[in-house]
Chain A
Amino acid sequence: MAQAETDPLTALQERLETVTRVMTTKAPIAQTPKELVWTLNKAKLYRYIPVVPQQDRHRVPLLLVFALMNRPYILDLRPGHSFVEYLVERGFDVYLLDWGCPGPEDSHLKFDDYTLEYMPRAVRKIKALSGVEEVSVLGWCIGAILTTIYAALRPDDGLRNLILLTAPLDFSDKEHLTFGRWVDEKYFDLDKVLQLFGNMPAEMIDYGAKALKPVENYIANYLKLWDNLENPKAVENWHAMNTWVRDNIPMAGGAFRQLIVDLYRNDRLMKGELVIRGEQVDLSRLRANLLTVIAEGDHITPPCQSETVLARVGSRDKEVYRVQGGHIGIMAGSGAEKRTWPHIEGWLSSRSD
């Protein structure tokens, strides 16, 4: 009886210790073995060590491109729940372009640099290393903007397959774009912000992303942890995700200015008015096979931002895949390996040999 009375206290202590541990330490993430194969400024290109014999591997390598303001290891979150690991085990030659963390000296970097300097060089390196003249690219969030621009500007670079995840490309529907409302020139003084900070601070971007769903991000997220403290797998998932969520990076000032002025305020990409290093971005020049993945419950990139691109591109082989879930959840949530990953893998494998 005395044992039964002390147990709740011990249990509470254990629960509090677990909460403290997962909120104050970093989870072991991005564990899939990889090698650094190329660098430029802060950007690094990694090649994941293949585990499938060469003769059984898919011929066309895959390049993963994530957003500029978060770490790309969300794609390789933790062993047993990693998109990268999933693809490597299924015979893909996987590369990851990590943009790195821009310093004050990089505040001038623009989409122009990322799409016409960094990406073509990384793609060339991949082609040289794999010995294949074609490549597939997967772009997620702002990574999808960059890959779309690159694919439209350099259609002859050997881009065979393009996968866009939650791609914010169409900024015409102002009613559904909360970010668009916040950064309207009436309220948001972009010049002053960049004059003061140089780059867009990570904390401000993080606040913006979390404030879109304040209850979920500031309250429900922690209650979810508390409710699942008895489930070690759920706790480790939460720990890994929290490690990623807290690890934000600033966005280069030049690129942030383009995101706000050219895209959010003027929708120049869809209107065909976006100019990158003097070249007009014409989406009809994008000819790669295209898969667009849309998250139905995405508050950061509502579906209306990703749907219309299919009608503008010149690709003959194009498909839209809708999946229940949020901006990150569709790729890193518990249901990702049952829905999103198999669909992407199936689509890609039939186009990679």
Chain B
Amino acid sequence: MSDAEPKATNQQNLAEKMHELRDAYLETWSKYLVEEVNSESYAQASGAALNSYLKAAAPFKDPAEQVILRTLQQFHMPTSADFAGLAGRFTNIEMQLDNLDAKLDRMEKTLAGMKAPGSAEAIAQQPKAAAKTAPKGTPARRAGRVAAKTAKGVRGNARKRK
């Protein structure tokens, strides 16, 4: 047991040292490659590689698309252009629905504002109610009638502005 313990510790130390060496090695490589990919020569090389891929792939694109298009048309099946058009229409419909939703929100807000205390509607209703409940010929009844007329004017003007 006493022999095994130092052996295990030695192995652990060795493994740690290997890790440290590995990490140091990777760090050196990492720094070197970060500088390398940030160089003009790398940009040029990657651009050249991409260009050669594009040159090789581009000639096949149009003929392949034409073949697919003709095949789909022969079988009276919708093409990618049909799907794209349909998707565009759906998006437009969604936008129109969203516009309607926005309008409804605005109307809801306006209605809520009208019912809120202090709004033109509430002011118009208050004096009317006061006038009805106050005894005939009293100042409260007269004041209520005047206030109701004023509030009516306010509402009328608001409609004209709209």
Decide yes or no: A192 and B58 within 8 Å by CB, A39-B94, A128-B105, A220-B30 being known contacts: yes
**Chain A residue with the shortest CB-CB distance to B48:** A187
Residues of A within 8 A of B75 (CB): none
Decide yes or no: A215 and B30 within 8 Å by CB, A40-B95, A181-B43 being known contacts: yes
0/1 string, A152-196, CB within 8 A of B gives 1: 000000000000000000000000001001101011110011011
What is the CA–CA distance of A124 and B105 in the complex, to the nearest angstrom? Answer: 10
What is the CA–CA distance of A157 and B98 in the complex, to the nearest angstrom? Answer: 17
- The segment from B81-89, B117-125, B129-137, B151-159 that touches chain A is B81-89
Q: Count how many chain A residues have C-beta atoms less than 8 Å from C-beta atoms of the other chain.
A: 36
Decide yes or no: A216 and B95 within 8 Å by CB, A184-B43, A187-B43, A187-B47 being known contacts: no
- A:83-139 near B, CB below 8 Å: 103-106, 117, 121, 124-125, 128
CB pair A215 B87 closer than 8 Å: no
Q: Is B76's beta carbon under 8 Å from chain A?
A: no
Residues of A within 8 A of B102 (CB): 121, 124, 128
Q: Is A219's beta carbon under 8 Å from chain B?
A: yes
Total cross-chain contacts (CB, 8 A)? 86
CB pair A214 B33 closer than 8 Å: yes
- A:315-335 near B, CB below 8 Å: none
**Chain B residue with the shortest CB-CB distance to A227:** B19
Q: Is B46's beta carbon under 8 Å from chain A?
A: yes
What is the CA–CA distance of A184 and B41 in the complex, to the nearest angstrom? Answer: 12
Q: Is B10's beta carbon under 8 Å from chain A?
A: no
CB pair B34 A182 closer than 8 Å: no
What is the CA–CA distance of A187 and B50 in the complex, to the nearest angstrom? Answer: 9
> What is the CB-to-nearest-CB distance from A327 to chain B, in angstroms, rounded to a whole number?
14
Q: Is A265's beta carbon under 8 Å from chain B?
A: no
CB pair A220 B38 closer than 8 Å: no
Residues of B within 8 A of A121 (CB): 95, 98, 102
Q: Is B57's beta carbon under 8 Å from chain A?
A: yes
- B:35-80 near A, CB below 8 Å: 37-40, 42-44, 46-48, 50-51, 54, 57-58, 61, 80
0/1 string, A1-21, CB within 8 A of B gives 1: 000000000000000000000
By CB atoms of chain A within 10 A, which of B54, B91, B95, B101 has the most? B91
Residues of A within 8 A of B42 (CB): 182
CB pair A188 B50 closer than 8 Å: yes
Q: Which of B34, B47, B88 contacts A105 (CB 8 A)?
A: B88
CB pair B80 A182 closer than 8 Å: no
Q: 12 A-B pairs, CB-CB below 8 angstroms? A: A41-B94, A121-B95, A121-B102, A128-B105, A178-B38, A182-B42, A182-B47, A187-B46, A188-B47, A193-B54, A214-B37, A215-B30
Given contacts A186-B47, A213-B30, 17 further A-B contacts (CB under 8 A): A39-B94, A40-B91, A41-B90, A105-B84, A105-B88, A128-B101, A128-B105, A181-B39, A182-B42, A187-B46, A215-B26, A215-B30, A215-B33, A216-B30, A223-B26, A227-B19, A299-B34
Which residues in B have some Cβ–Cβ distance to A below 8 Å?
19, 22, 26, 29-30, 33-34, 37-40, 42-44, 46-48, 50-51, 54, 57-58, 61, 80, 83-84, 87-88, 90-91, 94-95, 98, 101-102, 105
Which residues in A have some Cβ–Cβ distance to B below 8 Å?
38-41, 103-106, 117, 121, 124-125, 128, 178, 181-182, 184, 186-189, 192-193, 195-196, 211-216, 219-220, 223, 227, 299
